[in-house]
Amino acid sequence: MAEPLVDFIAAHQRLLVLTGAGCSTASGIPDYRDQAGAWKRPPPMTYQTFTGDPAARQRYWARSLVGWQRFGSAAPNAVHRALAELQGQGRVQCLVTQNVDGLHDAAGSTGVIDLHGRLDAITCLGCGRRGRRELFQQHLVAENPGWAQLPAGIAPDGDADLDAVDFSAFKVPDCAHCGGMLKPDVVFFGESVPRARVEAVQAHLDAADAVLVVGSSLMVWSGFRFVRAAAQAGLPIAIVNQGTTRADSLVTLKCAEDCSQALAFLLG
């Protein structure tokens, strides 16, 4: 147990909690970065590549078909449950996550702002309709027999590592309503977080009395901007993350422990 962290949480009643990939690694979902904040693997798909390169789109959905089988069945771990308990104690102004796995909701947290969207939904870039990823998964599997059985290791954001595979024959279904391009309902690199979402987080930050970051290196601007804004507003900031973060110079408290160990006291 990290006593300074216990004291920090006890001293505040309206925490803005911001979470990242480190919260979900114990659920079997890998993170992107090492403890120095560097990429462990090639950077993820960009919006420009996804929309502009049909071959890249085939590769993305093929890897996603294989990876979704494990990603979609991932279960909340002790970190998600601890933060749900913290909210149950009335100490959370808002929980904001950079993750796209929906595990905070599954653990019982309410009012979660999914900053980067959710991978369990898809959206059409033509007509704007949204749909369930599970249903789209069924279409992918039906159109591409045998792909679901390919051996692969799960990768961040629900895709899979497929080596030496020819993706050229992989079939990607279009929108059944307008024939438009379908993409996961997440914010890719090169996209902006929707303005309404940013404004909602900022409104909660304005009402918060402190910020707690859990499992994020904050290397991505979309999350870091809120921690920087909190520092500029003079709010206390605590970070639970084993490695380097972009905001280490801004914090009141840095707890360089495993997230589940650091927050274990919340689960008794």
Q: Is 243 annotated as a binding residue?
A: yes
Q: Is 99 annotated as a binding residue?
A: yes
Q: Is 98 annotated as a binding residue?
A: yes
Distance CA 197, CA 117 (A): 10
Q: Is 255 annotated as a binding residue?
A: no
Catalytic residues: 116
Q: Is 241 annotated as a binding residue?
A: yes
Q: Is 48 annotated as a binding residue?
A: no
Beta-bridge mates of residue 123: 130, 183
Q: Is 260 annotated as a binding residue?
A: no
Crossing angle of helices 133-143/54-71, nearest 10°? Answer: 120
Q: Is 175 annotated as a binding residue?
A: yes
Task: For the chain, count helices (H), then strands (E).
Answer: 9, 11
The C-alpha angle with vertex 31 and arms to 29 and 34, in degrees rounded to 5, equals 150
Distance CA 203, CA 216 (A): 21
Residue 214 CB burial class (10 angstroms; 0-12, 13-18, ≥19): buried
Q: Is 100 annotated as a binding residue?
A: yes
Q: Is 93 annotated as a binding residue?
A: no
Q: Is 215 annotated as a binding residue?
A: yes
Q: DSSP label at 22?
A: G
3-state secondary structure 173-241: CCCCCCCCCEEEEECCECCCCCHHHHHHHHHHHHHCCEEEEECCCCCCHHHHHHHHHHHHCCCCEEEEC
Q: Is 216 annotated as a binding residue?
A: yes
Distances (CA, A) of 261 to 5, 23, 24, 27, 243: 11, 11, 14, 15, 15
Rounded to 10 degrees, what is the CA torsion of 71, 72, 75, 80?
A: 80
**Residues marked as binding for NAD(+)?**
98-101, 215-217, 241-243, 259
**Residues marked as binding for Zn(2+)?**
124, 127, 175, 178
**Residues marked as binding?**
98-101, 124, 127, 175, 178, 215-217, 241-243, 259
